[in-house]
Structure 1
């Protein structure tokens, strides 16, 4: 038992330290978690889903036959009296009438509604992609502001050290008052930049809160800017083009539906009649009637309906072409900017950041040894600060362009 107690104590202590760390790691608001929260109750996505479901229900409804009509009739009532019991000519009739719409109009109307349901479903997919793009952009902008804020906070001790060095040099007679004022000025300007970035961070937080809520936004973000999947889709897979193609398909069904207007519409009527005076021994009567539309004069109605449906279909085709050209333009611009930003980010990481850091260290070493003047030291520190901030902005811009590429190529991975 004396040998097991230290082991058990060590296990308990290690567990007590691991639990808070794991809990803290679970509280980090990752980009994937923000995307999931944004898609739970996105109104635009849900609206198009409801419209698609409405179209599917309508597709079933329009395929059915019209409701039959009940016919109740009193025939041959004498004009000189309202009594029907004493008149051998008066009959009571009851029947039913069923109408059969023209040609394949029911099937074509159903297929047109189904095509429009596909269009609404594609718009729902686009709304989901747009929501993912928006939350990614908001997340990246907030991460950028917090990264810049971190750079400024890390630089603050360096500028405070710079002021202290200048104060010592001024007290020793190796620096003048202007150098001391310059050091205090740069430190004050750094504090002002911190306030400015904090204000921009608050704006970015409000934009991201629109998607994930204030409760989720209280969790910390990842320390590094998130990496996204490499764009690998095709422009033709974009749901906006799918939506326009579905409208074209609905237009084709609309043209065929308009052609059905040249075909007759049929109605069948069955009636049963009985005389009101039974004493004459008159039998009950049954009747059947068929009614047919005669579309003989088609110039001002059927021809016009067909022409209108053809124009609507052509307009839908032009809408697809316009949408494809616009997406292609956006894709070309985003690809060019993404490639340029990728090259700039690589140069900053491999060349500019190390050079700026080495230049600042060399300037400070020279100033301490009185081989470099104060202005050169300040410029070196400011250059390093601006280079680090610009590296963050370029990295963010590269990811923002990548977000747009993933949206244009129909990807949300």
Structure 2
């Protein structure tokens, strides 16, 4: 951001200087150029004055509007609404009937047998089918709630990984930038030694080569930083990623939960429970379904003294032949529940494998990180300083000095990579085991 703003300022200054021979005088051009340069000098300080983006702040922003989490919440709400609907009786049916109309006349006023009937019919579903259908929908609502919790965990894992990736690239950039003056000094020392006859042309070319390679590593790391910025901006937005990051690596919470409490397993278990309710719902198919009908009839021919009439009717379907329907439905429900149970066991095994592998890598990386901090980095720094001192005193040759500097640089970058990888493994552990809120 500072670099871009500085470039924009310089372009404006150059344009003014180029236009100096026109309508503005030389003195005016110089004054405006000096003013723009003064403003440009404030750009780095303004960026540094921006509050740094901590990992906890990035997580908070990512939680505000995660579409995946909200999608599963809406699905859960839809299932809860369906559960209420499934527990209700079917809508009653209105019956309007013209009864016993004469075939030859199709008139209703002159026939004493014709009646107008008005009634209502209510159907009562089989056994406890309404209760079991409602419980099945409620279990599926719990599955969607669990998927929503898993989506939130997955979002936290993604934003943490993106944040750590960006922090890693910026830390590597800082190391490379700090190493650049050392390699520039190496080139200057080699040029003086070459001019004095104490170094050959190959040493001079090697110094130039290492400086160019360092510049190439800077460009490559900047490209990777841009990719990491794009990943993090997907979760926190462009304004947040424009803020600087803290210099120290963030420390993550310790995993506190158990694998069996993971939302994915809770979702699979809810599907198993829904399958159990589905079995009970299929068993209701062996019970009869009832319908009750009440009607009121009145004759169409008046003056005959015929009274109005009322009727009541009860209808019951008889599930006598169950082999090809009820038996098949029950068998299908049992197979579906068994399949859901196998899916739960498969999910447990896969997640246990991921947990074992992640814990093993995390412990190994933790040990390696301690080794870099306590031994490798101090040794590489001391070795480079000793090599530089020897090279200046002509007791160490050029190749050994360059190798020492490269070892120090690579050790620092490797240490940053190990610290990042260890935290990435911990991010996966937090996804699998959970953490205290």
* TM-score range for the pair, normalised by the shorter chain length: over 0.9
* Corresponding position: 1:352 with 2:371: no
Which residue is 2:14 aligned to? none
1:232 Cα deviation after fit: 2.4
Pick from 225, 232, 253: which aligns with 1:229?
253
Which residue is 1:379 aligned to? 403
Provide the rounded CA distance (Å) in 2 between the counterparts of 1:23 and 1:218.
9
SS in structure 2 at match of 1:96: strand
Provide the rounded CA distance (Å) in 1 between the counterparts of 2:204 and 2:337.
76
* Corresponding position: 1:199 with 2:223: yes
> 1:99-158 deviations in whole A, cap 9, x for unaligned?
000000001000000000000000010011001101100111111011000000000011
Pick from 210, 215, 218: which aligns with 2:239?
215
Pick from 356, 360, 363: which aligns with 1:339?
363
> 1:19-65 deviations in whole A, cap 9, x for unaligned?
xx999676211111111222222111111110000000000001000
> 1:155-182 deviations in whole A, cap 9, x for unaligned?
0011111111111222222212211111
Provide the rounded CA distance (Å) in 1 between the counterparts of 2:339 and 2:310.
53
* Corresponding position: 1:411 with 2:435: yes
* Corresponding position: 1:143 with 2:167: yes
Q: Pairwise mapping of residues 2-401 of structure 1 onto structure 2 (< 5 A)?
A: 27-401=51-425
Contact 2:48/2:244 (<8 A) preserved: no
SS in structure 2 at match of 1:219: coil
> 1:316-349 deviations in whole A, cap 9, x for unaligned?
0000000000100000110000000000000000
**TM-score under structure 2 normalisation?**
0.88
1:392 Cα deviation after fit: 0.2
* C-alpha distance 336-25 of structure 1, shift in aligned 2 (>3 A): farther
Contact 1:267/1:290 (<8 A) preserved: yes
Provide the rounded CA distance (Å) in 2 between the counterparts of 1:178 and 1:82.
118
How many aligned residue pairs are there? Answer: 394
Provide the rounded CA distance (Å) in 2 between the counterparts of 1:78 and 1:382.
110
SS in structure 2 at match of 1:296: coil
* C-alpha distance 227-56 of structure 1, shift in aligned 2 (>3 A): same
Contact 2:291/2:316 (<8 A) preserved: yes
SS in structure 1 at match of 2:273: helix
Contact 2:47/2:243 (<8 A) preserved: no
SS in structure 1 at match of 2:105: coil
> 1:355-395 deviations in whole A, cap 9, x for unaligned?
00000001111111111111111000000000000000000
Unaligned runs of 5+ in 1: 1-20
1:91 Cα deviation after fit: 0.5
* Pairwise CA RMSD: 1.5
Which residue is 2:4 aligned to? none
SS in structure 2 at match of 1:156: helix
